[in-house]
Amino acid sequence: MGVRQAYSMLVESGYLIEKEREVKLILAALIARGHVLIEGVPGVAKTTIAKSIARSLSLEFKRVQMTPDLLPMDIIGYKIFDQKTGEFKFVKGPIFTNILLADEINRASPRTQSALLEAMQERQVTVEGETFRLDEPFMVLATQNPVEMEGVFPLPEAQLDRFLIKVETGYPTTKGFTAMLKRIDEIEAWVESIKPVVSREDVLNEIKNVRDVRVDEVIYQYIATLVEETRRHSAVRLGASPRSGIAVLRMAKAVAYLEGRNYVIPDDVKQVLVPTLSHRLILNPEFEIEGVSASRIIEEIMSKVPVPKP
């Protein structure tokens, strides 16, 4: 069993109605050693998706509800004086886990966000000069509400860049919504009853396997062209960086692996381009006012750049 099986189990259960794409991207990010930002308005199953994935994997899972008064030590941990031993003892925070669900990350203060994001980048935390390595695999699943304006601290671009992908999840279709209403009690019970199908070792092995996925020369060129095109687009003030291109490659390899292939095809690149780049582009204000989104720009670029042929 592996992450592929977890994906099949979650999708085939039929309980995550119209969230198959989100599940695939989050699992791909896990085996690509990345972190995920899930964005959506309240009530679109952001937390349910995160919980379901975490439960299907035999990995340690912790959840932190971000609030403005949350301190960095509440996440990282702190040292207290042990009267018995006469020494300071480190009490680990919730960050010492495999999957951390940081719910409503934009409600935390910038200081707390920074502490979390530093751990995401370095995969280690330092408390009073002492460094503690985080367990592998380690993934942060952060959620945020894009329309909330009061009492939130939007993540700066540099911190958004720490997330490998941003998954935008929206409302279901009428058909999907109706099916969900009919089965809501079953769905809730199913989420609580999910049994892990993947061990920690399996996940670590799959992370190694993803690195060996074959990438043809033309795929590298295709990714480079797509990324460079974001810098040439008239609506884009700040285009995608080389790090973004690396993220696209890693995600494309992970998606190919999740679909049972050991090679990347142009479809994999197309599939991951919007979630990988949309949070990294900064648009010109005049286009933003007109309602142009980064996702639309990326889709436009994909429709213009020729796919590698023959």
Partner 1 sequence: MTRLGTVILILLPVVVGVLGNIGFTQQLESYRHTPGFSGYSLSDWQEILNALTKGNLTPSEALMAASLIGSLANQSSQSQPIGSASNASLNALYEYFTLTSGNFSETDIMNAISLLNNSNIRDLLYSMFTGKNVSSSDIMQALNLLNDMWRGGEISTTDYMLALKLLSILAQSQGYTDLSGRLDYESMKAAASLMNNLTSILPNLIPYTSQNYPAPTGVGLGAPPQLLLPSLKYLSVPQGLQTTVVTTLVVAAAIMLFLLAPRIAVKARSLNPLAYRKLERLLAEAGGWGEAVRLYWRAVSRVETSTGRRMLPSETHREYYNAVEASMGSSSALFKRLTEIYEARRFAGDSRRELDDEARRLYGELSGKL
Name the site residues for partner 1 (rule: CB under 8 A).
214, 216, 219, 261-267, 270, 302-307, 309-310
Residue closer to partner 1 by CB (options 177, 263) is 263
Residue closer to partner 1 by CB (options 100, 210) is 210
Q: How many CB atoms lie within 10 A of CB 40?
A: 20
Provide CB contacts within 8 A for 30, sequence distance 6+: 3, 53, 57, 99, 137, 139, 203
Q: How far is the CB of 308 from partner 1 (least distance, A)?
A: 9
Amino acid letter, 225: T
Q: How far is the CB of 297 from partner 1 (least distance, A)?
A: 15
Amino acid letter, 17: I
Separation of alpha carbons 39 and 181, rounded Å: 22
Residue closer to partner 1 by CB (options 270, 279) is 270
Residue closer to partner 1 by CB (options 231, 237) is 231
Q: How far is the CB of 2 from partner 1 (least distance, A)?
A: 20
Separation of alpha carbons 29 and 134, rounded Å: 18
Q: How far is the CB of 232 from partner 1 (least distance, A)?
A: 9
Q: Which long-range contacts (CB under 8 A, 24 or more apart) does 289-294 make?
A: 292/235
Q: How far is the CB of 263 from partner 1 (least distance, A)?
A: 4
Residue closer to partner 1 by CB (options 187, 251) is 251
Instruction: Find the angle CA(77)-CA(81)-CA(82) to the nearest 5 degrees.
Output: 110
